[in-house]
Amino acid sequence: MTRSTPQGAGHRLEESIAWAVRNADGVVAIGVALVVGLMDVLDQNMDNNIVSGATLLVLAALVFGSLTERRRRVTDIRAATEGTSRAIEDLAMVRTLSGAEVGQAHERARRDTTRWVFKGGTGTYLRAVTLPQCVLEAQRQRRSLSMKIDIVDPADDQVCGAYARFRRTFGQGQGHGDGDLAEWTTERTRKEAYATVVAATWYRQRLDTLEIDVHLSSVAPALRFDLSDNCLIITQDDPRRVGLLVARDRPLYDYYVTELHQSREQSHKLDLREATPLGEEPTVDEVRRLLDRLGLPLPTSFTDPDVADIIDKALHAEDPYRR
């Protein structure tokens, strides 16, 4: 047989007292009703005023209890409403961008940022606008800049083919500043990715305070991610489609910081410290030597004109959002 300990009995007593305090209105009403009822059963002579007063006391206790319960419900409703408001706020943490708003959002994001993280297919807009503008701003303000770039691996035929098929599938007949999407091929994808590697190296060699990493992925992405100190911008391959903007103070921003980090961890990182020098206008031989040194040699089928095309894409890429 289990005996109750003094501590256990004391705990139960405290719980009982707490319950009685929380439900004082009901306790009073029940107590008065029991007293009056017992006196009536025992046939005690009671003045009518006593009975009426007791009845009124019971009714008052019940009314008080009803008002207390209503007040509790109002408090619960208010708390639920505040929770709903916070949830709606969180849903509104993503803002849509269309047309010129995309370029304007990128421009604001580049101001005063000390870091830029990019994940996408081949980085056309990155080469055309983001990289040169971020470097220019860092030079102007004499500050450091950290950039992390995650693109498809140009040495991986499978991923380059998959990315080219994706661009062709969703780009039939949709020509715009990024070129005719129907012309995307495995070879073009490889050239664009090589061009981003060359551009990253070229800018790194011209700004000592630029820390830039290039990661090569074996997965073809469907979206582009650009993350700065103050926001995240998500776009697609077609500038006419709606983009998304997430502010720094929203939970989704932090989620994507982690997501993009994990993606880079699963990609192959190039060691740009091993890069050979590139001139102001790199030559074909310089680019071949550079890619060989980085462990990313060009296919034997790439002719000198192909390499020249890569150089042009690296340093003179066209802004895909310019009409």
Residue 256: the pLDDT is 95
> What's the pLDDT band for 79 if we cut at 50, 70, 90?
low
Does 251 map to a domain? yes
* Residue 178 confidence (pLDDT): 45
Render pLDDT for 173-231 as a digit per residue (tens, 0 to 9).
Answer: 444 444 444 489 999 999 999 999 999 999 999 999 999 999 999 999 999 999 999 99
Do 214 and 66 fall within a single domain?
no
Residues 75 and 123 in one domain: no
In a domain, 321, yes or no: no
Cα 67 off chain centre by: 46
Which residue, 259, 253, 230, is CA-closest to 90?
253
Q: Is the pLDDT of residue 285 over 70?
A: yes
| 21 and 101 co-located in one domain | no
- The Cα 124–Cα 322 span in angstroms is 12
Is the pLDDT score of 304 beyond 80? yes
The HSE-up count of residue 282 (CA atoms within 13 Å, CB side) is: 29
The domain of 11 spans 6-91
Residue 274 DSSP symbol: G
- Which of 9-23, 55-69, 183-197 has the lowest average pLDDT? 55-69
147 and 86 co-located in one domain: no
- Residue 33 is encoded by which pair of tokens? 């009703």
Q: Highest-confidence range of 23-27, 45-49, 178-182, 232-236, by mean pLDDT?
A: 232-236
Vertex 286: Cα angle to 284 and 289 (nearest 5): 110
Domain termination site, one of 91, 107, 123: 91
Average pLDDT, integer, range 261-274 = 94
Picking from 91, 118, 147, the residue at the C-terminal end of a domain is 91
Tell which of 65, 91, 117 closes a domain.
91
> What is the domain count for the chain?
2
Element (H, E) at 270: strand 268-270
Report pLDDT for 78.
Answer: 67
CA-to-CA separations, 45 to 32, 40, 49, 53, 197, in angstroms, rounded: 17, 8, 12, 15, 103
Same domain? For 168 and 87 the reply is: no
On whether both 67 and 156 belong to a single domain, the answer is no
Tell which wins on pLDDT, 241 or 291. 291
What CATH number is associated with residue 212? 3.30.870.10
Say if residue 63 is in the same domain as residue 159.
Answer: no
Structure confidence at residue 323 (pLDDT): 57
Same domain, 150 and 239: yes
Could you tell me the two tokens for 147?
A: 């950039």
Q: Any idea what the Cα angle at residue 289 is, between residues 285 and 292, rounded to 5°? A: 140
CA distance 104 to 295: 37
Q: How many CA atoms lie within 13 A of 33 on its CB side?
A: 11
Distance CA(81)–CA(91), nearest Å, equals 15
In the predicted structure, residue 172 carries a pLDDT above the cut 70: no
In a domain, 74, yes or no: yes
What distance in Å separates the CA atoms of residue 316 and residue 323, rounded to the nearest whole number? 17
pLDDT at 5: 60
Instruction: Decide if pLDDT at 170 tops 90.
Output: no
Residues 82, 107 within the same domain: no
Q: Percentage of the chain with pLDDT > 70?
A: 67
Rounded Cα–Cα distance for residues 114 and 137 (Å): 10
Answer whether residue 1 is part of any domain: no
Angle ∠(178,184,189) on CA atoms, nearest 5: 90
Biggest CA–CA distance in the chain, Å, is 119
Instruction: Let me know if residue 85 belongs to a domain.
Output: yes
Measured CA to CA, the distance from residue 26 to residue 28 in angstroms comes to: 5
- Those residues whose C-beta lies under 8 Å from the C-beta of residue 100, and which sit 6 or more positions away, are 321
Ranked by mean pLDDT, the top range of 40-49, 110-119, 171-180 is 110-119
Residue 322 lies in a domain: no
Element (H, E) at 97: strand 94-97
Cα dihedral 100, 104, 106, 107, rounded to 10, equals 140
Rounded average pLDDT over 226-250: 91
Q: Do residues 83 and 123 both lie within one domain?
A: no
201 domain residue, yes or no: yes
Do residue 84 and residue 127 come from a single domain? Answer: no
Residues 165 and 73 in one domain: no
| Domain-located, residue 211 | yes
Residue 130's pLDDT band, with cuts at 50, 70 and 90, is very high
